[in-house]
A and B are shown apart, each in its own frame.
With several copies, the nearest count.
Chain A
Amino acid sequence: MTPLAKLLEAALFASGRPVPLEELAALDRDATPAALAMALDELRTEYDTGGHGVELVEIGGGWQILTRPEFTEAIERAQLAARPQRLSAAALETLAIIAYRQPIGRAEIEDIRGVGVGGMLKTLLERGLIDVVGRSEGLGRPLLYGTTSVFLEQFALRHLEELPRADELAIALRSGSHPE
């Protein structure tokens, strides 16, 4: 490809939105509108005939490189498959603290875990595993969290009392059901 076509490819790749022709002109002050149009055409032809997974499209008054629609399904499937929806160890610990100490405020959880848990609480809330169950009487009346029915369902528990007591835990863990 010509240097101008390469520059356009890099710029359109890096841009987060369709780029109008006037803005593309700012990339190279020496390029005439005709040269710019030719370079765009060169890039489009390269993508269309060179056998690429992407294409150059004119969209919303500008130019943009997009993945070819025939690949989107495979890409989404791969993203889901390769990112199993497991909770991180940190998220599990936060969930465990909430399960055993509910209702509990964010500050108290952070006190136990020693790190900020703002993002973690958001994830657990989005997942429906916890919910806001009230407000503390303390200063600033912080939100209190507790586990939900989704939580019980997820762990196949009939009610919270089915969770082992802290002193039974060592035994429950030793009974061979340890995760790898």
Chain B
Amino acid sequence: MPETHGSFVVELDQFSGPLDLLLTLIREEQVAITDVPIARIAEQFLQRIHSLGLGEAAEYLEMAARLLRIKAQMLLPRREDEEGWEDPRAELIRRLLEYQQMREVVDHLERLREERRGRFARGYLPAEPVPQAAPLALSLPELLAAVDRVLRLTSTPTMHDVVSRPLDVDGAIAVIRAVLMARAAGRWLDVVARDAEPWQVLSVLLALLELARRGELKLYQSRPFGPVEFSRDAASEAA
């Protein structure tokens, strides 16, 4: 089977993430995760991401910064009997243990997968009976229940959804330019549909600001909070 997804291909001599690299270093040092020598491990981590060319990868850099921060915290003076002192490594240790446990499951899954890969299923498959022959079992209540699910899914206002949809500023710029090609001036509603989604509104807004910055148009409002209008910039037209 041809493989098209790079991320799926086995990375033989690569680490699957900063935790993987960290765990490997700890194993090489033959120290316990629960008592990881932060200073030494941090130094090796930095060396290793440099030599592996991972120094650009944000996830590795983030981990490097975290290690250095913990190292610094470990150096702060403290009294042995100090109460309420929390080991600065605690969170990292927890994550490492969790990650190591997951790697154990991975080993198990890998064995299962290898076993399964070593057997073939039936290769020749007769054509399945045409499913259209069977009538569809559908009812209106079922459809309405689906509508209800969709509504409940979308009716909750979520500001986070705004960022999940990439803005299309270039598309909006094209629309505005097209309007100004046909007319000398336009209004907000000429370029934004009444039922526009937040991302569309934002796209147009950014596009208008960008075109104004470039001097391609002038933005104005006839009164405070009035509709935004725009017109071809006379200067740029002359140019």
Contacts and interface: CB of A to CB of B under 8 A. Distances in A.
A99 B143 contact: yes
B63 to A, nearest CB: 7
Given A88-B11, A123-B8, A114 B137 contact: no
B104 A179 contact: no
B148 interface: yes
A14 B16 contact: no
A173 B17 contact: no
A31 interface: no
Q: Which of A15, A90, A172 has the most CB of B within 10 A?
A: A90
A175 B162 CA distance: 34
B27 interface: no
Contacts of A171: 97, 100-101, 104
A116 B149 CA distance: 17
Interface in A124-180: 126-127, 135, 138-141, 154-157, 163-164, 166, 169-174, 177-179
Contacts of A66: 119-121, 124
A65 interface: yes
Given A16-B125, A85-B131, A154 B136 contact: yes
Contacts of A79: 128-129
Interface stretch (A34-42, A43-51, A69-77): A69-77
Contact of B99 (A86, A89, A112): A112
A93 B139 contact: no
A127 B136 contact: yes
B224 interface: no
Contacts of A170: 101, 104, 148
Contacts of A127: 8, 132, 136
A81 B16 CA distance: 30
Contact of A13 (B17, B123, B143, B197): B123
A112 B112 contact: no
Contact of B147 (A12, A64, A100): A100
Contacts of B98: 112, 174, 177
Task: Classify chain A: how many residues form its interface, as a range.
Answer: 35 or more
Given A96-B150, A164-B108, A155 B161 contact: no
Contacts of B121: 14, 16-17, 64-66
B194 to A, nearest CB: 15
A85 B8 contact: yes
B63 A114 contact: yes
Contact of A157 (B8, B112, B124, B126): B112
Contacts of B213: none
B142 to A, nearest CB: 5
A88 B10 contact: yes
14 contacts: A15-B125, A65-B121, A67-B119, A72-B126, A76-B129, A85-B135, A93-B103, A96-B105, A112-B99, A139-B174, A140-B158, A164-B104, A166-B147, A166-B151
Interface of B: 1, 3, 5, 7-11, 16-20, 59, 63, 94-95, 97-106, 108-110, 112-113, 115-126, 128-129, 131-151, 153-154, 156, 158, 160-161, 164-165, 168, 171, 174, 197
Given A96-B146, A156-B119, A164-B108, 11 more contacts: A66-B121, A67-B119, A92-B113, A93-B150, A95-B109, A139-B171, A155-B109, A155-B143, A169-B105, A171-B100, A177-B98
